[in-house]
């Protein structure tokens, strides 16, 4: 009934602009900004059993891996973002964003972002990024401010903290399931313990993000960074990252809660 009403309304008001974009355009935009590669990297990191859990309870590594295979999927993360973008962003917004990111400069930046996530690099981005960021802190105040603006535009620290909290929920659930944490706390109690660590997590995430920024954009001059920031701070780009980050954070939260619950079920501390 509602579908028919919307179709009738569309026929009666043909001159009105579309109120949402298409899934095809959303996927094209995500491809232009290298989103799939970012989600593949994120999914791989989340699927790996945390070292803290493995060190405390080696037997939990296989359980985590199996649960992660069921609940963490890069395609699902991409689809969650694309679906939400298509639902809330207009055709005009998507067209403007596609045009903005489908330029030689924007493609070059995306290529740098994708290259920095190559798993074959191993620890190089962390080591080299830390060195580069230390140099920035010591002697390039302008670039440091540009990094701060990049973080605000990308929502990197906020997104990283959200992911860290959800990952820690699954980690602590695994510790409880292994018997390394006494008692049988509820999900709410587990999350409360995790939230208590949020300030420390923010510091760690911020350090990681700025190290990553220093490595990823090392080939860009300060002027080029400023140009990229101008793109990120356009109203439609801000809206894109807000929608995209919220969608992926919700999907990661769902996956981490599911992993934590599954580990607890296996230990007999939750009902399936």
Convert the pLDDT of each residue in 258-270 to its tens digit. 999 999 998 887 7
Cβ–Cβ < 8 Å for 257, 166: yes
Q: How confident is the model at residue 20 (pLDDT cuts 50, 70, 90)?
A: low
Portion of the chain with pLDDT greater than 70, in percent: 92
Statement: residue 27 has pLDDT above 60: yes
Convert the pLDDT of each residue in 34-62 to its tens digit: 999 999 999 999 999 999 889 988 988 99
Residue 11 confidence class, pLDDT cut points 50, 70, 90: very low
Please state the pTM of the whole predicted model: 0.85
**Given this model, what pLDDT does residue 269 score?**
74
Report the chain's mean pLDDT, rounded to a whole number: 90
Q: Is residue 73 pLDDT above 50, yes or no?
A: yes
Burial of 214 (0-12, 13-18, 19+ CB in 10 A): buried
Task: Give pLDDT, residue 150.
Answer: 96
pLDDT per residue as tens digits for the range 105-121: 999 999 999 999 999 99
For CA atoms 131, 137, 141, 145, the dihedral sign is positive
Q: Which helix (H) or strand (E) holds 32?
A: helix 23-32
CA 133/CA 136 separation, integer angstroms? 5
Residues 6+ away with beta carbon under 8 Å from 154: 232, 241
Q: What is the pLDDT of residue 272?
A: 64
Return the pLDDT at 94: 96
pLDDT tens column, 211-231: 999 999 999 999 999 999 999
Q: Which of 225, 258, 248 shows the shortest CA–CA distance to 113? A: 225
**How many percent of the chain have pLDDT more than 90?**
81
62 CA to centre of own chain: 25
Give the model's pLDDT for residue 75: 96
Give residue for tokens 């694309």. Answer: 82
Q: Can you give the residue ranges of every domain in the chain? A: 22-266
């Amino acid at each position: 009934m509602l579908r028919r009403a919307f179709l009738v309304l569309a026929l009666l008001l043909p001159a009105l602009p579309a109120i949402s974009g298409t899934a095809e355009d959303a996927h094209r935009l995500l491809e232009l900004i290298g989103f799939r590669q970012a989600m593949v990297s994120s999914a791989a990191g989340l699927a790996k059993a945390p070292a803290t859990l493995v060190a405390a309870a080696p037997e939990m590594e296989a359980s985590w891996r199996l649960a992660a295979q069921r609940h963490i999927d890069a395609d699902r993360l991409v689809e969650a973002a694309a679906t939400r973008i298509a639902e809330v962003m207009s055709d005009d917004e998507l067209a403007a964003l596609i045009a903005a990111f489908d330029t030689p400069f924007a493609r070059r930046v995306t290529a740098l972002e994708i290259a920095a996530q190559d798993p074959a690099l191993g620890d190089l981005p962390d080591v080299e990024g830390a060195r580069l960021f230390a140099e920035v802190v010591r002697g390039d105040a302008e670039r440091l401010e540009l990094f701060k603006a990049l973080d605000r535009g990308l929502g990197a620290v906020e997104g990283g903290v959200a992911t860290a909290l959800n990952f820690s929920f699954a980690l602590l659930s695994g510790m409880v399931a292994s018997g390394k944490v006494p008692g049988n706390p509820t999900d709410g109690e587990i999350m409360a313990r995790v939230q208590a660590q949020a300030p420390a997590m923010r510091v760690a995430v911020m350090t990681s993000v700025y190290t990553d920024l220093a490595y990823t954009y090392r080939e860009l001059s300060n002027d080029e960074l400023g140009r990229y920031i101008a793109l990120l701070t356009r109203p439609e780009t801000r809206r894109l990252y807000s929608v995209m980050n919220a969608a992926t954070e919700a999907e990661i939260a769902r996956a981490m809660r599911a992993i934590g619950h599954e580990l607890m079920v296996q230990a007999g501390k939750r009902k399936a």
